[in-house]
Structure 1
Amino acid sequence: MIKYIFLDVDGVLTDGAIIYGEHCGEIKNFNVRDGLGIKLAIRLGYEIFVLTGRNSNVTKQRCKELGITNVFQGLDNKVKIYEEIKRKYNFSDNEAAYIGDDINDISLLKKVGFSATVNDAPDYVKDVVDFIVPVDGGKGAVRVFIEEIIKRNGQWEKVLSFY
């Protein structure tokens, strides 16, 4: 049973575009459906972790809004931090899921119990995952990923009872 959910940011929680404004700094586009999916997972007791290669105040702000306290930015090696987290929380790979979209995600995608990527990921990423989300990054892909985990864990009826 999946209990620990790991998320990439750029290309997964966003469409991968990064806009720099002269007076407003960095701008990223997050999808509200992903936010609700994350909040549902937290409400059900899942631990959510964000792992990203970039450092971004915008990402930090979005995670704070969603209640994600485990945010790791500026990572060169996502497997290394994953292994540290795994030791700290004492879980097995089979209890973890990860969604990523690029070459720097492949090692972790191969390690976790349930791996996924977005519809617009390169084929070499799609070739190593368990599940290809049928939407592009930034278009609600994380929501679909989380709903798939919830359904596989037999908790969908519980989610429906919330509303």
Structure 2
Amino acid sequence: MMDIGSIDQTIVDKAKKLKLLILDVDGVLTDGRLFFDDFGKEYKCFHARDGHGIKLLRQSGVEVAVISGRKSNSVELRMRSLGIQFVYQGHEHKLAAFQEMLEALNIEPEQTAHVGDDVLDLPVMLRAGLAVAVQDAHFAVKQRADWCTRVPGGQGAVREVCDLIMLAQGTFDLALQPYL
């Protein structure tokens, strides 16, 4: 289990305010590699722990959204299976989607977190209340992040962020209760 006491109090304070977690896909929900067969069909690999963390976080009252620069049917299918309503694909310029979500949910930028791995994520990360980089993110993203995960993208990094938010907001134990 993550030790919330080992995390800087400023990060915990920012996480307490969150109502929306925004995720990039390639390099965050996946390891960033792109697989294509001989017919051009694309394949992505998602980590089951990330998916379960997203479900738990949503049950705790924090909404989750995706903004991706690429477009993929597998992303649409996976996000639908997780109950994610806000899925923006093919958005290389992510600020418009960010602004649309703020208005739709009637929240302020400081009530959002954004998890990214590459420079396309910086415009939203720099406006979000909590900017998170996955462990293997580009150095320019890591330099500008408030917090970095201990594990790489696609290997449980999103679960780590979900756990951090629930621990900060005091909802982790309640989320864990059905499994004890």
What is the TM-score of this pair, normalised by structure 2? 0.87
1:6 aligns with 2:25: no
Offset at residue 57 of structure 1 (A): 0.4
- What is the aligned length? 163
1:87 aligns with 2:127: no
Q: d(CA) in 2 for partners of 1:70 and 1:93?
A: 16
Offset at residue 22 of structure 1 (A): 2.5
Q: d(CA) in 2 for partners of 1:153 and 1:131?
A: 17
1:161 aligns with 2:170: no
* 1:85-121, Cα deviation, whole Å (9 max, x unpaired): 1122110111111101100111111111111011111
Q: d(CA) in 1 for partners of 2:119 and 2:40?
A: 30
Given the alignment, which residue of 93, 96, 102 partners 2:118? 102
Instruction: Report the counterpart of residue 137 of structure 1 in structure 2.
Output: 153
Instruction: Report the counterpart of residue 132 of structure 2 in structure 1.
Output: 116
Q: d(CA) in 2 for partners of 1:122 and 1:83?
A: 25
SS at match of 1:77: coil
* Segment of structure 1 superposing worse, 81-90 or 27-36: 81-90
SS at match of 2:65: strand
Q: d(CA) in 1 for partners of 2:69 and 2:79?
A: 15
Contact 2:70 2:92 in 1 (8 A): no
Q: d(CA) in 1 for partners of 2:125 and 2:144?
A: 7
Offset at residue 38 of structure 1 (A): 0.6
Letter in 2 for 1:143: R
Q: d(CA) in 2 for partners of 1:3 and 1:136?
A: 24
* Segment of structure 1 superposing worse, 47-56 or 75-84: 75-84
1:68 aligns with 2:88: no
Letter in 2 for 1:51: I
Instruction: Report the counterpart of residue 17 of structure 1 in structure 2.
Output: 33
Computed over aligned residues only, the root mean square deviation of the Cα atoms, in angstroms, reads 1.2
Contact 2:67 2:89 in 1 (8 A): yes
Contact 2:30 2:44 in 1 (8 A): yes
Q: Which runs of 5+ in 1 are unaligned?
A: none
Offset at residue 162 of structure 1 (A): 2.7
Q: d(CA) in 2 for partners of 1:77 and 1:131?
A: 23
Offset at residue 24 of structure 1 (A): 7.9
Instruction: Report the counterpart of residue 39 of structure 1 in structure 2.
Output: 55
After the TM superposition, which parts of structure 1 deviate over 6 Å for at least 4 consecutive aligned residues?
A: none
Letter in 2 for 1:50: V
Letter in 2 for 1:132: C
Q: d(CA) in 1 for partners of 2:49 and 2:144?
A: 26
Letter in 2 for 1:5: L
